[in-house]
Structure 1
Amino acid sequence: MWYWLFKFIFMGPLLTLLGRPKVEGLEHIPADGPAILASNHLAVADSFYLPLVVHRRITFLAKQEYFTGTGLKGRAIAWFYTVAGQVPIDRSDADAAQAALDTAERILGAGKLLGMYPEGTRSPDGRLYKGKTGLARLALESGVPVIPVAMIGTDTVNPPGSKMWKFGRVTVRFGKPMDFSRFDGLAGNRFIERAVIDEVMYELMELSGQEYVDIYAASLKEGATPLPQSQNPSSSRLPDSAAG
């Protein structure tokens, strides 16, 4: 109940006023049944505008820290993320990553829409970064379609690092569902998983118009030097951990 109250009464009208969201390709969202919504990630607002424009409820995997705060503020944040349809996951090690994938499989097994950010974190500079293969493994193991989603303009309405929200124009662009059934039985093969996630990132690059950078966004945030120029994700087939 709280999910729909926030969407239609408490937050939805204000988000609509601020971002004047434009939606393209909404017909690609199935009326029922499971699917993975794979989105680029520009701002916290992505997790608000994507559910705002989709008629069905979306469940996101959220980092555990959102649910473990102390004091009145921490409890309020945990409550909000819970009623907003987000599920806590621990990303601290490989065992935790597998547990997160198991949780995601249960959500899809219940016929729900699952929202995921294959970059693993928000873009530090508006460019599109290398995707982590956890989403690929989940798609291969579950057999559900992957629907690429380009969020455009959310970083204008909700500038990263700022607590202030501004007026702008948000576009949410859905691509055609991606079917990876040709790789049935190959989940766990890191080269196949890298090929799958690179294909997803290529679609996101095409939909969003972002420049692609072939390193992980988290590595850049930790001080790694970015590549001197962008690279088409379909040309990268490097080994990668299965944990996204």
Structure 2
Amino acid sequence: MWYLLFEYVLIGPILRILGRPRVSGTQNLPTSGPVIIAGNHLTVVDSFFLVLLMRRRVTFIAKSEYFTGRGIKGAALRWFYSATGQVPVDRRGADASAPALAAAKSILRQGKVWAVYPEGTRSPDGRLYKGKTGLARVAIETGAPVVPLVMYGTLAVNPVGSRMWRPGKVRMVVGEPLDFTRYAGGENSKVILRAVTDEVMAALATLSGQEYVDVYAASVKEAA
């Protein structure tokens, strides 16, 4: 119920007015069965528009901190992730990625849609950065197709550091599904995981036109 209220009553109408969103390539989205949506990531509002524009229900793996934040922003994030049925995962510990990957595989084995940003964090400068291999491991183990999806214009609606959304024009382009079943059994091969990840990032770069940088975005942010 909350998911539908978000889309059609509470936040959805505001986003439609501010962003005037449009989507192309919807024929590339499977209408049933497990699907991995792999997107570029420019700003926080990307996730809001993705949930709004997808006809099927979308699930993200969200950091547990999003469910414990304080203040107005913390309350808004907590409400959004809880109301739309997103899955909180504690990423701290020796193997921080393990709980997130387990949760993602569970979502897909239920025939649902999992959305992920392979860069692992928002781009610090609008370029597309090296992808992390967790997506590849999940895709190989589950056999789910990976659908590349890119956003344009979300930075105008939600500039980095801004507290208020602004008018803009948001576009979403959905690419053709990528099938990695040929790599079945190769989820423990670093070479295969990197090859799959790089193929996904190449598809995102082609769709978005972003300059690709072969380093992790998190490393760039840490060095800044």
TM-score range, shorter chain: over 0.9
Q: For residues 57-111 of structure 1, give each alpha carbon's deviation from its aligned partner in whole angstroms, at most 9, with x where no partner exists.
A: 0001111110123578756642331112321122224533112111111111111
Give the TM-score, by structure 1 length: 0.88
The 1-side partners of 2:131 and 2:151 are apart by: 16
Provide structure 1 residue ranges, at least 5 long, that are not aligned to the other structure: 225-244
Instruction: Map residues 68-79 of structure 1 onto 2, 5 A cutoff.
Output: 68-69=68-69, 74=74, 77-79=77-79
Structure 1 equivalent of residue 141 of structure 2: 141
Instruction: Map residues 201-216 of structure 1 onto 2, 5 A cutoff.
Output: 201-216=201-216
Change (3 A) 1:128 1:32: same
Instruction: Map residues 1-244 of structure 1 onto 2, 5 A cutoff.
Output: 1-69=1-69, 74=74, 77-223=77-223
Instruction: Look up the SS of the partner of 2:88 in the other structure.
Output: strand
Q: Are 1:43 and 1:158, in contact at CA under 8 Å, matched by a contact in 2?
A: yes
Change (3 A) 1:102 1:221: same
| Identical columns (%) | 58
The 1-side partners of 2:66 and 2:140 are apart by: 28
Count of matched residue positions in the alignment of Structure 1 and Structure 2: 224
Change (3 A) 1:55 1:101: same
Q: Are 2:145 and 2:178, in contact at CA under 8 Å, matched by a contact in 1?
A: yes
The 1-side partners of 2:76 and 2:15 are apart by: 20
- What is the root-mean-square deviation in Å for CA atoms of aligned residues? 1.6
Q: For residues 183-207 of structure 1, give each alpha carbon's deviation from its aligned partner in whole angstroms, at most 9, with x where no partner exists.
A: 1110111110000000000000000
Paired AA for residue 220 in structure 2: L
Deviates more, 1:129-138 or 1:66-75: 66-75
The 1-side partners of 2:104 and 2:178 are apart by: 18
Change (3 A) 1:4 1:193: same
Q: Are 1:89 and 1:96, in contact at CA under 8 Å, matched by a contact in 2?
A: no
Provide structure 2 residue ranges, at least 5 long, that are not aligned to the other structure: none
Change (3 A) 1:94 1:200: farther
The 2-side partners of 1:54 and 1:18 are apart by: 18
The 2-side partners of 1:76 and 1:203 are apart by: 33
Shift, 1:40, TM fit: 0.4
Instruction: Look up the SS of the partner of 1:95 in the other structure.
Output: coil
Q: Are 2:91 and 2:99, in contact at CA under 8 Å, matched by a contact in 1?
A: no
The 2-side partners of 1:66 and 1:198 are apart by: 29
The 1-side partners of 2:152 and 2:94 are apart by: 32
